[in-house]
Structure 1
Amino acid sequence: MTIRRACKADEESIRACAEDAYEKYISAIGKKPAPMIADFGLQISEGIVHVAENLRGEVDGFIVFFPRKDHMFLENVAVKGSAVGRGVGKRLMAFCEAEARRLDLGSIRLYTNEKMTENLAIYPHLGFSETDRREEEGFRRVFFEKVLE
Protein backbone atom coordinates (compact mmCIF):
# COMPACT_ATOMS: atom_id res chain seq x y z
CA MET A 1 0.00 0.00 0.00
CA THR A 2 1.17 3.50 -0.86
CA ILE A 3 -0.09 6.75 0.62
CA ARG A 4 0.16 9.73 -1.69
CA ARG A 5 -1.40 13.13 -2.25
CA ALA A 6 -4.64 12.83 -4.22
CA CYS A 7 -4.88 14.22 -7.73
CA LYS A 8 -7.90 15.26 -9.82
CA ALA A 9 -8.06 11.80 -11.41
CA ASP A 10 -8.74 10.31 -7.94
CA GLU A 11 -11.90 12.32 -7.28
CA GLU A 12 -14.36 9.68 -8.51
CA SER A 13 -12.64 6.93 -6.51
CA ILE A 14 -12.56 9.10 -3.40
CA ARG A 15 -16.26 9.90 -3.71
CA ALA A 16 -17.09 6.19 -4.24
CA CYS A 17 -15.02 5.30 -1.17
CA ALA A 18 -16.87 7.91 0.92
CA GLU A 19 -20.23 6.63 -0.29
CA ASP A 20 -19.24 3.05 0.53
CA ALA A 21 -17.82 3.90 3.96
CA TYR A 22 -20.60 6.21 5.17
CA GLU A 23 -23.75 4.84 3.49
CA LYS A 24 -24.55 2.65 6.50
CA TYR A 25 -24.98 5.75 8.68
CA ILE A 26 -27.65 7.52 6.60
CA SER A 27 -30.60 5.86 8.32
CA ALA A 28 -29.21 6.41 11.84
CA ILE A 29 -28.42 10.09 11.21
CA GLY A 30 -31.49 10.76 9.05
CA LYS A 31 -29.48 12.29 6.20
CA LYS A 32 -26.15 11.85 4.45
CA PRO A 33 -23.23 12.33 6.84
CA ALA A 34 -21.12 15.42 6.16
CA PRO A 35 -18.22 13.41 4.64
CA MET A 36 -20.53 12.15 1.88
CA ILE A 37 -21.35 15.66 0.70
CA ALA A 38 -17.85 17.15 0.88
CA ASP A 39 -16.44 19.08 -2.09
CA PHE A 40 -13.68 16.59 -2.87
CA GLY A 41 -12.66 18.46 -6.02
CA LEU A 42 -11.92 21.58 -3.98
CA GLN A 43 -10.18 19.61 -1.23
CA ILE A 44 -7.98 17.83 -3.78
CA SER A 45 -7.06 21.15 -5.41
CA GLU A 46 -6.13 22.49 -1.96
CA GLY A 47 -3.76 19.54 -1.50
CA ILE A 48 -5.37 18.32 1.72
CA VAL A 49 -6.49 14.85 0.53
CA HIS A 50 -4.24 11.78 0.56
CA VAL A 51 -5.16 8.36 -0.74
CA ALA A 52 -4.14 4.85 0.24
CA GLU A 53 -3.51 3.02 -3.00
CA ASN A 54 -3.25 -0.77 -3.16
CA LEU A 55 -0.81 -2.72 -5.32
CA ARG A 56 -3.34 -2.74 -8.19
CA GLY A 57 -3.39 1.07 -8.15
CA GLU A 58 -6.90 1.26 -6.67
CA VAL A 59 -7.91 3.67 -3.92
CA ASP A 60 -8.71 1.66 -0.78
CA GLY A 61 -9.10 4.69 1.47
CA PHE A 62 -8.41 8.37 1.89
CA ILE A 63 -7.79 11.00 4.53
CA VAL A 64 -8.41 14.74 4.59
CA PHE A 65 -6.40 16.87 7.02
CA PHE A 66 -4.76 20.27 7.26
CA PRO A 67 -2.83 22.31 9.81
CA ARG A 68 -4.45 24.93 11.98
CA LYS A 69 -2.58 27.24 14.37
CA ASP A 70 -1.37 24.69 16.91
CA HIS A 71 -2.90 21.43 15.74
CA MET A 72 -3.68 19.25 12.76
CA PHE A 73 -7.37 19.09 11.94
CA LEU A 74 -8.43 15.69 10.63
CA GLU A 75 -11.59 16.30 8.65
CA ASN A 76 -12.28 12.90 7.13
CA VAL A 77 -10.87 9.39 6.99
CA ALA A 78 -12.59 6.58 5.12
CA VAL A 79 -11.82 3.05 3.99
CA LYS A 80 -13.87 1.22 1.40
CA GLY A 81 -15.68 -1.84 2.69
CA SER A 82 -13.61 -4.37 0.74
CA ALA A 83 -10.42 -3.05 2.40
CA VAL A 84 -11.68 -2.87 6.00
CA GLY A 85 -9.59 -4.94 8.39
CA ARG A 86 -6.37 -4.65 6.38
CA GLY A 87 -4.84 -1.79 8.37
CA VAL A 88 -5.64 0.90 5.79
CA GLY A 89 -7.30 3.21 8.30
CA LYS A 90 -4.49 2.80 10.85
CA ARG A 91 -1.88 3.58 8.18
CA LEU A 92 -3.78 6.70 7.11
CA MET A 93 -4.08 7.85 10.72
CA ALA A 94 -0.35 7.21 11.30
CA PHE A 95 0.42 9.23 8.17
CA CYS A 96 -1.62 12.17 9.51
CA GLU A 97 0.15 11.92 12.85
CA ALA A 98 3.57 11.85 11.16
CA GLU A 99 2.68 14.98 9.18
CA ALA A 100 1.51 16.74 12.36
CA ARG A 101 4.80 15.87 14.05
CA ARG A 102 6.79 16.98 10.99
CA LEU A 103 5.06 20.36 11.21
CA ASP A 104 5.71 20.45 14.97
CA LEU A 105 2.00 20.63 15.81
CA GLY A 106 0.98 19.72 19.34
CA SER A 107 -2.10 17.65 18.62
CA ILE A 108 -4.58 16.22 16.16
CA ARG A 109 -8.23 17.20 16.50
CA LEU A 110 -11.28 15.72 14.83
CA TYR A 111 -14.97 15.19 15.25
CA THR A 112 -17.37 12.43 14.35
CA ASN A 113 -21.12 12.04 14.44
CA GLU A 114 -22.49 10.66 17.71
CA LYS A 115 -24.41 8.03 15.71
CA MET A 116 -21.14 6.62 14.32
CA THR A 117 -20.65 4.39 17.32
CA GLU A 118 -17.77 2.45 15.72
CA ASN A 119 -15.76 5.68 15.56
CA LEU A 120 -16.59 6.50 19.16
CA ALA A 121 -14.85 3.24 20.11
CA ILE A 122 -11.95 3.43 17.63
CA TYR A 123 -10.64 6.92 18.37
CA PRO A 124 -9.96 6.34 22.10
CA HIS A 125 -8.19 3.11 21.12
CA LEU A 126 -5.92 5.23 18.86
CA GLY A 127 -5.02 7.59 21.71
CA PHE A 128 -7.71 10.26 21.27
CA SER A 129 -9.66 11.76 24.18
CA GLU A 130 -13.19 13.09 23.91
CA THR A 131 -13.23 16.86 24.46
CA ASP A 132 -16.78 17.99 23.66
CA ARG A 133 -20.21 17.13 22.30
CA ARG A 134 -22.39 19.66 20.53
CA GLU A 135 -24.66 20.25 17.55
CA GLU A 136 -23.14 21.90 14.49
CA GLU A 137 -24.62 22.36 11.03
CA GLY A 138 -27.51 20.07 11.96
CA PHE A 139 -25.26 17.21 13.11
CA ARG A 140 -24.66 15.94 16.67
CA ARG A 141 -20.87 15.85 16.82
CA VAL A 142 -18.38 14.34 19.24
CA PHE A 143 -14.99 16.07 19.34
CA PHE A 144 -11.69 14.32 20.01
CA GLU A 145 -8.08 15.34 20.45
CA LYS A 146 -4.82 13.41 20.53
CA VAL A 147 -1.96 15.25 22.18
CA LEU A 148 1.34 14.45 20.48
CA GLU A 149 4.26 14.01 22.86
Structure 2
Amino acid sequence: MNRPPRRGGPDDRLAIEALQQAAYARNRARLGVEPLPLLADYARLFDTHEFWVLDGVTAPRGLLVLEKRPKDLLVWSVAVSPVAQGQGVGNRLLEFAETRARELRRWKLRLYTGEKLVENIAWYQRHGYAIEGREVLEDRTIVHMLKTIDKNTGGIS
Protein backbone atom coordinates (compact mmCIF):
# COMPACT_ATOMS: atom_id res chain seq x y z
CA MET A 1 0.00 0.00 0.00
CA ASN A 2 2.17 2.80 -1.24
CA ARG A 3 -0.62 5.09 -2.41
CA PRO A 4 -0.14 8.72 -1.45
CA PRO A 5 -2.45 10.25 1.12
CA ARG A 6 -5.75 11.50 -0.23
CA ARG A 7 -7.46 14.70 0.79
CA GLY A 8 -9.99 14.01 3.51
CA GLY A 9 -13.21 15.88 4.05
CA PRO A 10 -16.31 16.09 6.21
CA ASP A 11 -17.53 12.72 4.90
CA ASP A 12 -14.47 11.18 6.60
CA ARG A 13 -15.17 12.80 9.95
CA LEU A 14 -16.29 9.72 11.89
CA ALA A 15 -13.35 7.63 10.65
CA ILE A 16 -10.94 10.49 11.36
CA GLU A 17 -12.23 10.98 14.89
CA ALA A 18 -12.03 7.21 15.55
CA LEU A 19 -8.46 7.11 14.26
CA GLN A 20 -7.46 10.10 16.39
CA GLN A 21 -8.98 8.47 19.49
CA ALA A 22 -7.15 5.20 18.85
CA ALA A 23 -3.82 6.80 17.92
CA TYR A 24 -3.69 9.19 20.88
CA ALA A 25 -5.09 6.79 23.52
CA ARG A 26 -1.67 5.81 24.86
CA ASN A 27 -0.64 9.47 25.19
CA ARG A 28 -3.55 10.18 27.53
CA ALA A 29 -2.02 8.12 30.34
CA ARG A 30 1.48 9.50 29.74
CA LEU A 31 0.33 13.11 29.72
CA GLY A 32 -2.20 12.81 32.53
CA VAL A 33 -4.55 14.99 30.46
CA GLU A 34 -6.48 14.68 27.23
CA PRO A 35 -4.17 15.12 24.20
CA LEU A 36 -4.84 18.44 22.46
CA PRO A 37 -5.97 16.89 19.13
CA LEU A 38 -8.74 15.08 21.01
CA LEU A 39 -10.13 18.35 22.35
CA ALA A 40 -10.76 19.81 18.89
CA ASP A 41 -14.07 20.38 17.15
CA TYR A 42 -13.46 18.45 13.94
CA ALA A 43 -16.59 19.80 12.23
CA ARG A 44 -14.98 23.26 12.34
CA LEU A 45 -11.43 22.12 11.56
CA PHE A 46 -12.42 21.07 8.03
CA ASP A 47 -12.89 24.79 7.26
CA THR A 48 -9.39 25.80 8.38
CA HIS A 49 -7.14 22.73 8.11
CA GLU A 50 -6.15 20.21 5.47
CA PHE A 51 -6.81 16.54 6.25
CA TRP A 52 -4.69 13.93 4.44
CA VAL A 53 -5.72 10.30 4.91
CA LEU A 54 -3.67 7.17 4.26
CA ASP A 55 -6.31 4.54 3.64
CA GLY A 56 -6.12 0.94 4.76
CA VAL A 57 -8.25 -1.98 3.68
CA THR A 58 -11.12 -1.30 6.08
CA ALA A 59 -10.14 1.90 7.92
CA PRO A 60 -7.59 4.71 7.68
CA ARG A 61 -4.04 3.70 8.59
CA GLY A 62 -2.84 7.25 9.13
CA LEU A 63 -3.86 10.88 9.19
CA LEU A 64 -1.99 14.12 8.69
CA VAL A 65 -3.65 17.40 9.63
CA LEU A 66 -2.02 20.58 8.35
CA GLU A 67 -2.73 24.25 8.98
CA LYS A 68 -1.55 26.70 6.33
CA ARG A 69 -0.43 29.84 8.11
CA PRO A 70 1.01 33.05 6.62
CA LYS A 71 4.67 32.20 7.25
CA ASP A 72 4.71 28.44 7.80
CA LEU A 73 2.86 25.17 7.63
CA LEU A 74 1.81 23.73 10.97
CA VAL A 75 1.80 19.96 11.28
CA TRP A 76 -1.22 20.01 13.57
CA SER A 77 -1.50 16.24 13.94
CA VAL A 78 0.24 13.06 12.82
CA ALA A 79 -1.85 10.05 13.80
CA VAL A 80 -1.20 6.41 13.02
CA SER A 81 -3.63 3.60 13.72
CA PRO A 82 -2.29 1.29 16.45
CA VAL A 83 -2.45 -1.65 14.01
CA ALA A 84 -0.25 0.25 11.52
CA GLN A 85 2.35 1.58 13.96
CA GLY A 86 5.90 0.51 13.19
CA GLN A 87 5.14 0.16 9.46
CA GLY A 88 6.50 3.53 8.29
CA VAL A 89 3.12 5.26 8.10
CA GLY A 90 4.22 8.18 10.29
CA ASN A 91 7.40 8.59 8.24
CA ARG A 92 5.34 8.73 5.03
CA LEU A 93 3.03 11.33 6.54
CA LEU A 94 5.93 13.56 7.61
CA GLU A 95 7.47 13.24 4.14
CA PHE A 96 4.15 14.25 2.64
CA ALA A 97 4.02 17.30 4.95
CA GLU A 98 7.34 18.44 3.44
CA THR A 99 6.00 17.89 -0.08
CA ARG A 100 2.88 19.87 0.74
CA ALA A 101 4.96 22.68 2.29
CA ARG A 102 6.91 23.00 -0.96
CA GLU A 103 3.69 23.05 -2.99
CA LEU A 104 2.37 25.84 -0.76
CA ARG A 105 5.73 27.64 -0.82
CA ARG A 106 6.05 27.47 2.94
CA TRP A 107 9.70 27.06 3.90
CA LYS A 108 9.12 26.41 7.57
CA LEU A 109 7.30 23.45 9.07
CA ARG A 110 6.27 23.72 12.69
CA LEU A 111 4.67 21.30 15.11
CA TYR A 112 4.22 20.78 18.81
CA THR A 113 4.05 17.80 21.10
CA GLY A 114 3.78 17.12 24.81
CA GLU A 115 6.98 17.53 26.81
CA LYS A 116 6.37 14.17 28.50
CA LEU A 117 6.29 12.40 25.12
CA VAL A 118 10.06 12.12 24.86
CA GLU A 119 9.87 9.38 22.21
CA ASN A 120 7.85 11.71 19.97
CA ILE A 121 10.36 14.51 20.45
CA ALA A 122 13.25 12.19 19.57
CA TRP A 123 11.36 10.88 16.51
CA TYR A 124 10.75 14.40 15.21
CA GLN A 125 14.40 15.28 15.84
CA ARG A 126 15.45 12.26 13.76
CA HIS A 127 13.34 13.77 10.97
CA GLY A 128 15.18 17.09 11.14
CA TYR A 129 12.98 19.06 13.53
CA ALA A 130 14.68 21.16 16.19
CA ILE A 131 13.24 22.29 19.49
CA GLU A 132 12.22 25.89 19.11
CA GLY A 133 10.90 26.42 22.62
CA ARG A 134 8.59 25.26 25.36
CA GLU A 135 5.22 26.65 26.31
CA VAL A 136 3.79 26.12 29.78
CA LEU A 137 0.02 25.83 29.74
CA GLU A 138 -2.28 25.49 32.71
CA ASP A 139 -2.32 21.70 32.56
CA ARG A 140 0.73 20.72 30.47
CA THR A 141 3.95 21.85 28.83
CA ILE A 142 4.23 21.61 25.08
CA VAL A 143 7.42 21.54 23.03
CA HIS A 144 7.42 23.62 19.84
CA MET A 145 9.57 22.25 17.01
CA LEU A 146 10.73 23.67 13.67
CA LYS A 147 12.11 22.34 10.41
CA THR A 148 13.31 24.69 7.68
CA ILE A 149 13.12 23.70 4.03
CA ASP A 150 15.85 25.05 1.74
CA LYS A 151 13.86 26.86 -0.95
CA ASN A 152 16.85 27.27 -3.27
CA THR A 153 17.66 23.58 -3.68
CA GLY A 154 14.37 21.98 -2.80
CA GLY A 155 16.22 20.09 -0.08
CA ILE A 156 15.92 20.30 3.65
CA SER A 157 18.32 22.31 5.76
User: Is the pair's TM-score, using the shorter chain for normalization, greater than 0.5?
Assistant: yes
Q: Is the 8 Å Cα contact of residues 111 and 144 (structure 2) preserved in structure 1?
A: yes
CA RMSD of aligned residues (A): 1.6
C-alpha distance in 1 between matches for 2:66 and 2:50: 6
Deviation, structure 1 residue 139: 2.4
Q: Which runs of 5+ in 2 are unaligned?
A: 151-157
Any runs of at least 4 consecutive aligned residues in structure 1 with deviations exceeding 6 A, and if so which? none
State yes or no: 1:10 paired with 2:12: yes
Q: Is the 8 Å Cα contact of residues 49 and 65 (structure 2) preserved in structure 1?
A: no
Deviation, structure 1 residue 83: 0.5
Partner of 1:128: 129
Q: Is the 8 Å Cα contact of residues 14 and 61 (structure 1) preserved in structure 2?
A: no
* 1:91-142 C-alpha deviation (Å, 9 max, x unpaired): 1111111111112111100110011122111000001011101213532100
Q: Is the 8 Å Cα contact of residues 63 and 93 (structure 2) preserved in structure 1?
A: yes
Q: Is the 8 Å Cα contact of residues 66 and 77 (structure 2) preserved in structure 1?
A: yes
The more displaced of 43-52 and 139-148 is 43-52
The more displaced of 105-114 and 42-51 is 42-51
Partner of 1:36: 38
* 1:47-79 C-alpha deviation (Å, 9 max, x unpaired): 51111112x252111111122122111111100
Partner of 2:91: 90
C-alpha distance in 1 between matches for 2:73 and 2:48: 15
* TM-score (norm: length of structure 1): 0.91
* Amino acid across the alignment from 1:112: T
> Which secondary structure does the structure 2 equivalent of 1:127 belong to?
coil
Q: Is the 8 Å Cα contact of residues 8 and 45 (structure 1) preserved in structure 2?
A: no
Partner of 2:51: 49
> Which secondary structure does the structure 2 equivalent of 1:115 belong to?
coil
> Which secondary structure does the structure 2 equivalent of 1:86 belong to?
coil
Q: How does 1:136-147 map to 2 (within 5 A)?
A: 136=137, 138-147=139-148
Q: How does 1:74-89 map to 2 (within 5 A)?
A: 74-89=75-90
Partner of 1:102: 103
C-alpha distance in 2 between matches for 1:71 and 1:47: 13
Identity %: 31
